[in-house]
Amino acid sequence: MDVRHAIQECGGVARTCELRRYGVSGDAVVAAAVDGTAVRLRKGVYANDARSAVAVAAAHGGSVTCVSALRAHGIWLLDAASSLHVNVGINGRVHPHYRCACIDHHEGKTTVFGVASAVDALKVAWRCLTLESYFVAFESAWRLGLLSEQNRRSLIEAVPERIACWLRRARGDADSGLESLFRFRMMLIGVEFESQVRIPNVGRVDFRCGRVLIEIDGRANHEGDSERARDLARDANAVQRGYVTLRFTYAMVVHHWPSTQAAVLAAIDDMAFITPADSL
Ligand SMILES: [Zn+2]
Ligand SMILES: [Zn+2]
């Protein structure tokens, strides 16, 4: 096997001893580093692409973890942190490297390279995320199929009770992180919604509370004229069944929460005394 292929098999970063298992000799690795086929991160550690997160973490002395691993798994994150979070192990040594801005984590006795699993990343990410960001990431990982029931139980046991009590109320059917964030913020003030409710002649709506329907429109969706026409038709059908629909964008949920919350509370207050047609 050639050097690049062998490094790839090891996850993009490999020690010389690991490469020997693929039949790659020490001389071949050194030659690859000299001709630029591979990159020498430090003595005995090689990567295919020095700029990859896995390579920077290995140069630092460990593996990609926490929010950086969550991002690598495609899990929805509210905060756009740029620092690389690296697990160097309990006794691991941190190696100086060019432009280091890494955040250290110290988990496990052995130093490994690569990207932590979603479960292992969530086990430590509560230390670096706000409660609501962590809740949203947990629901996102669940929705992506990255957390089994056993995984969720182990995470609930691993985090402090002030976080665990919220994870017990998490769901695996939120369509987007934005929906998770909306529901979490409403739960914080004691307002519970039914999620993903199917209403005749309207279809599935994100949330329902009494006569109020809430639709959360993500950034990429609901931009075209046809989508807008469809939304308006849904809203008109909802009115016929006794509902009022409120629609919120990414910016309204993330950046203008006080006015969004006020609108929801006012709508719930106004409509609470009327019984929806579906309940009759
Ligand atoms: Zn972290
Ligand atoms: Zn670093």
CA gap 30, 33 in Å, rounded: 5
High-pLDDT (> 90) share of the chain, %? 71
Q: For position 217, what pLDDT does the model report?
A: 84
Same domain flag for 145 and 185: no
CA of 165 to the centre of ligand 1 (A): 21
Q: For position 212, what pLDDT does the model report?
A: 93
pLDDT value at 110 more than 90: no
Domain count, the chain: 3
CA of 57 to the centre of ligand 2 (A): 7
Task: Please identify every residue whose CB atom is under 5 Å from ligand 1, which is an ion.
Answer: 66, 85, 128
| Local confidence band at 227 (pLDDT 50, 70, 90 cut-offs) | confident
247 belongs to a structural domain: yes
CA gap 140, 277 in Å, rounded: 33
Same domain flag for 67 and 148: yes
Q: Which ligand gives the minimal distance to the CA of 64?
A: 1
Q: For position 109, what pLDDT does the model report?
A: 83
Q: Which ligand gives the minimal distance to the CA of 53?
A: 2
55 belongs to a structural domain: no
Give the residue from 198, 200, 174 showing the smallest Cα distance to 186. 174
203 belongs to a structural domain: yes
Same domain flag for 77 and 143: yes
CA gap 138, 62 in Å, rounded: 24
58 belongs to a structural domain: no
CA of 49 to the centre of ligand 1 (A): 23
Amino acid at 161: E
Provide the CATH number for the domain around residue 224: 3.40.960.10
Domain boundary among 121, 137, 172: 172
Range of the domain at 216: 177-279
CA of 127 to the centre of ligand 2 (A): 19
| Local confidence band at 93 (pLDDT 50, 70, 90 cut-offs) | confident
Overall average pLDDT of the 170-184 stretch: 93
pLDDT value at 272 more than 70: no
Q: Which ligand gives the minimal distance to the CA of 104?
A: 1
Angle at 189 between CA 160 and CA 66, to 5 degrees: 35
Angle at 78 between CA 146 and CA 126, to 5 degrees: 65
CA gap 131, 217 in Å, rounded: 23
31 belongs to a structural domain: yes
Same domain flag for 3 and 39: yes
| Local confidence band at 96 (pLDDT 50, 70, 90 cut-offs) | confident
Same domain flag for 232 and 265: yes
For residues 51, 96, 89, 39, the Cα torsion angle rounded to the nearest 10 degrees is 40
Same domain flag for 123 and 204: no
CA of 272 to the centre of ligand 2 (A): 54
Same domain flag for 32 and 73: no
57 belongs to a structural domain: no
Same domain flag for 11 and 74: no
Q: Is 191 helix (H, G, I), strand (E, B) or coil?
A: coil
Q: Which ligand gives the minimal distance to the CA of 67?
A: 1
Same domain flag for 13 and 98: no
Torsion sign, CA atoms 136, 140, 146, 150:
positive
Same domain flag for 166 and 79: yes
CA gap 135, 105 in Å, rounded: 20
Which tokens in the block code for residue 176? 């987007």
27 belongs to a structural domain: yes
56 belongs to a structural domain: no
Q: For position 80, what pLDDT does the model report?
A: 72
